[in-house]
Structure 1
Amino acid sequence: MTLARPRPGMPWNRPGRATGGPAPLRGRRAAAQGGFTLLELLVVISIIALATAGVGVAMRDSGQTLIEREAARLAALLESARAQSRAGGMPVRWRTEARGFRFEGLPPSALQALPSQWLDAGTTARAPTMLVLGPEPLIGPQQVLITHHAHPERALRVATDGVRPFTVEPVQ
């Protein structure tokens, strides 16, 4: 058996083997495991982006959400009273009050089904104090502006052109 001779300047590690040559396989794996792969980084960045979007949606302005909920509720109530007015053939009016609103002209059983207060005490209606909801199938254009005392600069319009149902629109 012939011993391998080291090249000049190569120290001996054990008999027959010089150090400084290619790294053993175990050493190469350790060097490759020092960082993250591109796929791992993309997955982490995607998770962070989804979490950020979720927080952004969760932190939505509650004042605007409250006004939107009140406006959608009022539009549904006005349409319900309008339908009852047409079905019963009696005039129905909607009036604002200090603490809410009221419907006039509906039978007592229908009045009990329709609420007469805002969901939040700070909600107010800026509009004519009375809307006529029927009994004619065509009514004139009507609108109510809904605001909240905490955010008076924000308002939504609950309106109809007299033919279509009441809808909620942003005020610009």
Structure 2
Amino acid sequence: MYRTRGFTLLELLVVISIIALATVGVGLAMRDSSQTQLEREAARLAALLESARAQSRATGVPVRWRATAQGFRFEGLPPGATAALPTQWLDAGTVVRGDAVLTLGPEPLIGPQQVLITHQAQPERTLRVATDGVRPFTVEPLQ
């Protein structure tokens, strides 16, 4: 009798499955860093805006957030509070689209406001950090 040498269908399926799982793992590990960085910047900005909004309401002092060429700044907070808040993006490639000035208080209702941020490496991808004036600032992709 002849014995044919080769692989069984089950062995081939197992190898193909292992290759597929390895490909998915590599794809997830190599996720676009500028996209991840932009999402991180937007979430950080939303948290900073909420922090400044709470400080404005607590002190009764009007606070503004303004984009600058180097990053951004908070205006109106007491000197100690302003020093505690950052003034630059984590990634120098992050930019604000348009001239964004947000008024953060001291009134509890501030009106709808938004800021659009993007990354120089992917100018077509923009995230919106916005509030309707009642709810906290949230991050959403620009449609």
Same fold per superposition (TM over 0.5): yes
What TM-score do you get using the length of structure 2 for normalisation?
A: 0.89
Q: Is 1:140 matched with 2:111?
A: yes
Q: How many residues align?
A: 143
Unaligned runs of 5+ in 2: none
Q: Is 1:161 matched with 2:132?
A: yes
- 1:38 Cα deviation from its structure 2 partner: 4.0
Asked whether the equivalents of residues 75 and 168 of structure 1 are also in contact (C-alpha less than 8 Å), the reply is yes
Q: 1:20-169, aligned counterparts within 5 Å?
A: 31=3, 34-169=5-140
Question: After TM superposition, where is structure 1 displaced by more than 6 Å over at least 4 residues in a row?
Answer: none
Asked whether the equivalents of residues 127 and 143 of structure 1 are also in contact (C-alpha less than 8 Å), the reply is no
Segment of structure 1 superposing worse, 116-125 or 138-147: 116-125
Asked whether the equivalents of residues 116 and 128 of structure 2 are also in contact (C-alpha less than 8 Å), the reply is yes
- 1:154 Cα deviation from its structure 2 partner: 1.5
Supply the AA of the counterpart residue of 1:119: L
- Structure having the higher Rg: 1
Measured in 1, the distance between the counterparts of 2:12 and 2:119 equals: 45
Unaligned runs of 5+ in 1: 1-22
- 1:48 Cα deviation from its structure 2 partner: 0.9
- 1:74 Cα deviation from its structure 2 partner: 0.8
- 1:119 Cα deviation from its structure 2 partner: 1.3
Asked whether the equivalents of residues 48 and 85 of structure 2 are also in contact (C-alpha less than 8 Å), the reply is yes
